[in-house]
Structure 1
Amino acid sequence: MRTTTKHKPKSIETFKQQLLLWSQQFDDVVWLDSNSHTSKYSNYDAVLAVDAFTSIQTDYTSGFVKLKEYQSITNDWIFGYLTYDLKNDAEELESANFDGLQFPDLCFFQPKKIFLIKGNTVKIKYLNAVDDELEEDLKEIHSLTECHTERSRSAKDDEVVKIKLRIHKDEYFRKLDKMLAHIYRGDIYEANFCQEFYAEETEINPLETYNKLNAISQAPFATFLKCNDKYLLSASPERYIKKKGNNIVSQPIKGTAKRSANHNEDQALKYELKHDDKERSENIMIVDLVRNDLSKTAKKGSVQVKELCKIYSFDQVHQMISTVVSKVKKDTHPVDIIQTTFPMGSMTGAPKISAMQIIEDLEETKRGVYSGAVGYFSPKGNFDFNVIIRSILYNETNKYVSYSVGGAITAKSVPLKEYEECLLKAKAMREVLEN
């Protein structure tokens, strides 16, 4: 059981900064921030969950069964992530590529302390066992200032991060030729091909790195996640899937264009993206895939496309986003909805299984957390998960830093343009790490 308290700080933005700084003392942290990108599908402006009371960490073997059992038994708020490699549980697939990060395939925890921010109000939910700590915690949170942030920095913040490529440019083109050969042969219509950028023997300050990345990108599904010595620092623009009551929403992104400081040029770039046949065909193929995935748990006739190829603008890029909705029966288990749609269509391809097999063959890195999902389940069985893209991953013990980027390959793809799109998507992460 939880005690719920409402709190109204003088400045919600200051409180958010203090809250994230305060959270760093815990081994289990999930911070989700919409950066004021509110929509009719938003539940909260920001959420913090810290300090595991119970938890589950496992590899992909029977991963969804274990999650289903944990979610049902806990019957409480649980926060965590699903890695891309849970595809091996959802389908007869495998992951054999290099993994420098070594994250567990699935990690969720039941937090002792939760802060739900909406507007100027913070709804605080503490487990009854720790509710006597709330007053002291609030005093500590409000006492934190920028000087504490300065003291939390160390020499490693100024360390030069030397980024390496797992796949070099010429090899990227060779691999894309193989991908296109699969498409021309009819094995697949589309596949999301990704490449890793990484740094070894490198130490970063996770909170500072996240704050810099978030300041650049201001993404609607930003995440700071800490799981002991492993960190996810994300500026994701994409919602994977959300459940509220019997309503399901998925919002796949396919189609990217750069921004310009010149207003007229920026509007022209946006117009070009909206009317780009190749980008539209990518998006529509994935919308069809998402519709098919949602239909596995949907009430008959309830799957609908609410928005098709709508352009949304973010600080770094313009994105083409579609919104697909469905309705499920009351007795449908929330984990079943995720299992039957996972991994998300925007990060796989069509047909989905064939695309994932070809992706595994051509990519050099085990995706792990990248192109997985992070989010939460509520006690009522509602959930909200993002797509883990535009993200920096860090294993503090191994001193390994990684970010991956990718793009959808179709018959209309031009390899040089695909490579340039990858560099555009990588820009914010690279700027942050290289200062």
Structure 2
Amino acid sequence: MYKNQRRIKELTPYIPAVDIFRIYEREPGAAFLDSSLVNELGHYSVIGRCPYLKLVKDGESFTINGRPETETTFEDYMREYLNTHEDKNNSGLPIVSGAVGYFSYDYGRKQMGVPSGEKDLVTVPEAVLTFYDCFIIEDCQEKRTYLVSNGISADAAAEIGAMEKAIREFTEAGKQEGSETGKKKESGNRMVTENSHREKFRIQVHPNFEKEEYKQAVDRMIRYIIEGDIYIANMTQQLTIESEKPPLDVFYDLRKNNPSPFGGYLDFGDYQIVCASPERFLKMKDRHVNTRPIKGTRKRGVTSEEDEMLRRELQDSGKDKSELLMIVDLERNDLNRVCTPGSVKVTELFTVEAYATVFHLVSDIEGKLEEEKNVMDLLEAAFPGGSITGAPKYRAMEIIDELEHGKRNLYTGSIGYLTLDGSCDFNIVIRTALHKDGKYHLGVGGGITAESDLDFEYEETLQKAKAILDALQ
């Protein structure tokens, strides 16, 4: 059993987590899981502070706080750590102790044993998990914010007091900014003027497919489906974008103009992740598991009439429903590998969700994790998510590697948290920009079935890129 000196205190008056993140955004190891779209899914936002344990899996290398570890693997270390540092959470908050981080698609590909002949378009570690001493947690629905310190890196009460003091001073400074107060109040009592009148940044977009090449690859994927190799697969192109806009500014603009329930900002020093994902991959609380795949997209309409027409078009689309149904079946099979027999159920089948630039068709599958299993077993069974691979998963991933022009890397992996009480919440990494060496890397793709239209599939990738490209300007 893990022992600590945890302190939890509600912040009064209430201040949103995004406003508080302005204080800590440049701290080493800054992590913000952001529910900017407040709905049934977008319930909590989480800021991680004061990292004390960083685990990095990079090819054959595994490091613990920067030191190479050769006596055990990343996976075995995580299983052992979770077992020996169990920490019950009776607070009602989603996380009070644990890690924030990511698993890349290529981490999952290697775990599945799928070889790759493709090159890296950008190189970052395959998986990173950072355990934090302090958390700032916002209940976005109830409009309440909590400060948490576990007393690992410093005295817990002192850390809570230091955070309260920093937040109070930052808020008071923002209120004294004069005529801009209203504008700053709206975006977090920021001590500088908001992005709304900043000059536009020029961008240059370099796709790794020409349009006709992409259509040919989709056509080849369709032939694999017709020949019986697979039922469905996800086809991706990668965009490399030149933009001088700082990643933090991209994040704040993106969350404002394209709010999402599973967004975030993670800073790893030499690279940053800006995320606005609408898709949950896996959530687990009290051994209750939930996955929520997306399949089917339509752009938003210019008028309310066009908007409703496009929504109904997606709702009534036989092709999109067939696509989603196949992924639901795959996800059910994945969960059944680690869940109690009979517990896996489809609780929603064809629900249309609205976002700033698109509609999505989604389903929801639930189950109960077996008693002897933990979050690493769950990830091993289900990762990477079926909605961004295809079915059967292994063969779909082989075909993906054959037809796509480069490794996916972080794209279609997962970002989120896992806790020392056995819970987790991870997204699917879509609508996400990876910033490194002055360039942004963005993956965009879609599900391919035998009924797919080549031009539509290409245009759908551009529609999915729109929100990120707008934020980069």
TM bracket, shorter-chain basis: over 0.9
SS at match of 1:340: helix
Matches within 5 A, 1:16-415: 16-39=17-40, 44-59=43-58, 63-75=74-86, 76-118=97-139, 119-128=142-151, 129-130=153-154, 131=156, 132-144=158-170, 145=174, 146=184, 150=192, 159-200=201-242, 202-395=243-436, 398-415=437-454
Alpha carbons of structure 1 residues 213 and 149: separation in structure 2 relative to 1, 3 Å: farther
Aligned match of 2:15 in 3, 12, 19?
A: 12
Question: C-alpha separation between the residues in 1 aligned to 2:80 and 2:237?
Answer: 34
Question: C-alpha separation between the residues in 1 aligned to 2:260 and 2:14?
Answer: 21
405-414 or 182-191: which moved more? 182-191
Question: C-alpha separation between the residues in 1 aligned to 2:245 and 2:121?
Answer: 16
Alpha carbons of structure 1 residues 70 and 227: separation in structure 2 relative to 1, 3 Å: farther
TM-score, normalising length from structure 2? 0.85
Deviation at 1:336, TM superposition (A): 0.2
Deviation at 1:73, TM superposition (A): 4.5
Identity %: 30
Provide, for residues 162-205 of structure 1, a one-character-per-residue CA deviation record: whole Å limited to 9, x for no partner: 111111111111211211121111111111011011135x5431
Question: C-alpha separation between the residues in 2 aligned to 1:212 and 1:299?
Answer: 43
Supply the AA of the counterpart residue of 2:104. T
SS at match of 1:25: coil
Contact 2:11-2:164 within 8 A present in 1 as well: no
Deviation at 1:95, TM superposition (A): 3.5
282-291 or 93-102: which moved more? 93-102
Alpha carbons of structure 1 residues 387 and 361: separation in structure 2 relative to 1, 3 Å: same
Contact 1:21-1:149 within 8 A present in 2 as well: no
Alpha carbons of structure 1 residues 301 and 265: separation in structure 2 relative to 1, 3 Å: same
Deviation at 1:432, TM superposition (A): 1.4
Question: C-alpha separation between the residues in 2 aligned to 1:87 and 1:157?
Answer: 40
Provide, for residues 193-226 of structure 1, a one-character-per-residue CA deviation record: whole Å limited to 9, x for no partner: 11011135x5431111001111121111111111
SS at match of 1:332: coil
Question: C-alpha separation between the residues in 2 aligned to 1:152 and 1:126?
Answer: 31
Question: C-alpha separation between the residues in 1 aligned to 2:167 and 2:11?
Answer: 13
Question: C-alpha separation between the residues in 1 aligned to 2:306 and 2:241?
Answer: 35
Deviation at 1:24, TM superposition (A): 1.8
Alpha carbons of structure 1 residues 217 and 241: separation in structure 2 relative to 1, 3 Å: same
Question: C-alpha separation between the residues in 1 aligned to 2:117 and 2:134?
Answer: 37
Question: C-alpha separation between the residues in 1 aligned to 2:431 and 2:401?
Answer: 20
SS at match of 1:320: strand
Contact 1:254-1:346 within 8 A present in 2 as well: yes
Question: C-alpha separation between the residues in 2 aligned to 1:310 and 1:63?
Answer: 37
SS at match of 2:425: strand
Alpha carbons of structure 1 residues 63 and 185: separation in structure 2 relative to 1, 3 Å: farther
Q: CA RMSD in A?
A: 2.1
Supply the AA of the counterpart residue of 1:20. F
Question: C-alpha separation between the residues in 2 aligned to 1:172 and 1:108?
Answer: 34
Contact 1:56-1:70 within 8 A present in 2 as well: no
Alpha carbons of structure 1 residues 60 and 87: separation in structure 2 relative to 1, 3 Å: farther
Supply the AA of the counterpart residue of 1:53. Y
Supply the AA of the counterpart residue of 2:47. L
Supply the AA of the counterpart residue of 1:93. V
Report the equivalent of 2:456: 417
Alpha carbons of structure 1 residues 336 and 315: separation in structure 2 relative to 1, 3 Å: same
Alpha carbons of structure 1 residues 260 and 52: separation in structure 2 relative to 1, 3 Å: same
Deviation at 1:152, TM superposition (A): 11
- Gaps of at least 5 residues in structure 2 are 61-72, 87-96, 175-183
TM-score, normalising length from structure 1? 0.92
Alpha carbons of structure 1 residues 219 and 23: separation in structure 2 relative to 1, 3 Å: same
Alpha carbons of structure 1 residues 429 and 312: separation in structure 2 relative to 1, 3 Å: same
Question: C-alpha separation between the residues in 1 aligned to 2:163 and 2:199?
Answer: 28
Question: C-alpha separation between the residues in 2 aligned to 1:149 and 1:277?
Answer: 51
Contact 1:157-1:205 within 8 A present in 2 as well: no
Deviation at 1:159, TM superposition (A): 4.4
- Gaps of at least 5 residues in structure 1 are none
